[in-house]
Amino acid sequence: MDLTPRIDYFGNFDPSRVPSPCFVVDERALRDNLEVLADVQKRSGAKVLAALKAFSMFSVGPIVAEYLSGTAASGLFEAKLGYEEYGGRALDKEVHVFSAGYKESELREILQFAHHVVFNSFSQWKRYKDLCLEMQNKRPELRFGLRINPEHSEGHTDLYDPCAPCSRLGIVRSLFDGEDLHGISGLHFHTLCEQDFKPLERTIAAVEDKFKDLIPQMEWINFGGGHHITRCDYQVDELVNAVRAFADRHNVQVYLEPGEAISLFAGVLVGEVVDLTWNGRNQAILDTSATCHMPDVLEMPYRPDITGAARPGELPHDYRLGGQSCLAGDSIGEYSFADPLKIGDRLVFEEMAYYTMVKTNTFNGIPLPAIALWNSKTDELKIVKEFGYEDFKGRLS
């Protein structure tokens, strides 16, 4: 996996220009990614949707809407965001929704504006079928689908593998036997996580093998997300050819739902050193937290890169970096630096646009990072939003 950006977008960014902590997204990098995805959309015939679960900085919604066909949501609130901020209402961009389980009140609202609604089980579809078809009579553009589980794992981490044994996500082939598919026009599958084309190619083969009798009954097939299409080493031409061949073979509309690919290489998180301590090794306490601001560091887990830093022992000065929270394990990782750290130093954590802003929390009352939009071509900088005490208080009662 080559996570080297096509351009060193943040090479000239000055982290002192923003408050700390702060997420900074580069509009130029974002547009570069969207141009790649728009090209895939044009050449393959697929409709590409932005998966808001990974990146939902809605201030750039109008930019995303310039390039893609719509958004993919994981529930009511994301769906409303796609409708309101990503051209769903103003430009009639498509809004697709999948949820592992809908409450009736949520579904009734979703049916007012969504284009595709995908169900995770036959029990949910049967429960809401009459309601759905009644609304379809009023809104003929409405389509309904089922998420399938091809029982084909491509994930490397169980936490992110929708096809792991006994997964709650998707319907296995054996459960389709004897079921009436009236009202269902499409199938949705999702097996990937930060992967290139070859795992998708194997998944397509598994889907065609297990569901070959059902695909001809469908109008559309959604290939889900996890596609790292904007990575430098992604096999874009192979993807284009495979999508076109699948669509021609089965006479269906194909959808892709990239999430990370939208903002790959496009964002950083700026943090500041607030204290330096020692307990067996040098420790640096930052105003940014793994558990509050980048929880995948603990959940995945992984060690984020820092601009100018290296692995322990590779540069003269080693530090273990941690956040301000009381969680003993709020550790970002161990790093080495060319010069000793000082209180007030700014650190730039790379690859922090996706699955960060959407997962932040205010545990311990730690402030949420500000959000900024920068343009590496024009150097224009805008502080989009800053958060304070009222944002913490407003989540409680």
85, 228: one domain:
yes
Identify whether the C-beta of residue 146 lies closer than 8 Å to the C-beta of residue 126. no
* Structural domains counted in the chain: 2
Looking at the structure, tell me whether residues 193 and 229 fall in a common domain: yes
**Quick one: 343 and 371 in the same domain?**
yes
Whether 36 maps to a domain, the answer reads no
Q: Which of 263, 296, 315 is the last residue of a domain?
A: 263
* Same domain flag for 328 and 221: no
Q: Report the SS3 class of residue 149.
A: coil
Q: Which residues form the domain of 110?
A: 45-263
Does a structural domain hold residue 24?
no
The answer to whether residues 200 and 279 belong to one domain is: no
State the pLDDT at residue 157: 82
C-alpha 23/C-alpha 219 separation (Å) is 40
- Is 226 within a domain? yes
Domain boundary pick from 230, 263, 296: 263
Closest CA to 191 of 249, 241, 257: 257
pLDDT at 162: 94
Which two three-digit tokens encode residue 164? 């792991």
For residue 7, the model assigns a pLDDT of 86
- Helix (DSSP H) and strand (DSSP E) numbers for the chain: 11, 16
- What pLDDT is recorded for position 141? 98
Classified as helix, coil or strand, 369 is coil
Q: Is residue 282 domain-shared with residue 247, that is, in the same domain?
A: no
13, part of any domain: no
**pLDDT recorded at residue 130:** 98
DSSP lists the bridge partners of residue 270 as 22, 348
Give the strand pairing for 22-26 and 267-278.
antiparallel
The answer to whether the CB of 325 falls within 8 A of the CB of 363 is yes
Claim to verify: residue 60 and residue 188 sit in the same structural domain:
yes
Question: How far is C-alpha 88 from the chain's CA centre?
Answer: 19
Q: Is residue 37 domain-resident?
A: no
116 and 218 inside one domain: yes
Q: In 3D, which of 12, 40, 37, 39 has the Cα closest to residue 26?
A: 12
Residues of the chain whose pLDDT is less than 70?
A: none
- Asked if the structure places residue 258 within a domain, the reply is yes
Same domain, 233 and 136: yes
pLDDT at 285: 98
Do 278 and 252 reside in the same domain of the chain? no
DSSP one-letter code for 368? P
Question: What is each CA distance from 345 to 26, 171, 337, in whole angstroms?
Answer: 22, 51, 12
| Whether 86 and 164 share a structural domain | yes
Residues 6+ apart with CB under 8 A from 119: 102, 125, 128, 144, 145, 146, 147
| CATH number reported for the structural domain that contains residue 278 in this entry | 2.40.37.10
Cα distances (Å, whole numbers) of residue 319 to 174, 277, 322, 330: 53, 10, 10, 14
Indicate whether 3 belongs to any domain: no
Which of 263, 294, 319 finishes a domain?
263
Domain annotation covers residue 5:
no
Q: What is the CATH number of the domain that holds 76?
A: 3.20.20.10
Strand segments, DSSP code E, in the chain are 22-26, 47-51, 70-73, 94-98, 116-119, 143-147, 186-188, 220-222, 253-256, 267-278, 282-286, 317-322, 331-337, 346-350, 370-374, 381-385
249 and 322 inside one domain: no
Q: 0.85 cut: is pTM over it?
A: yes
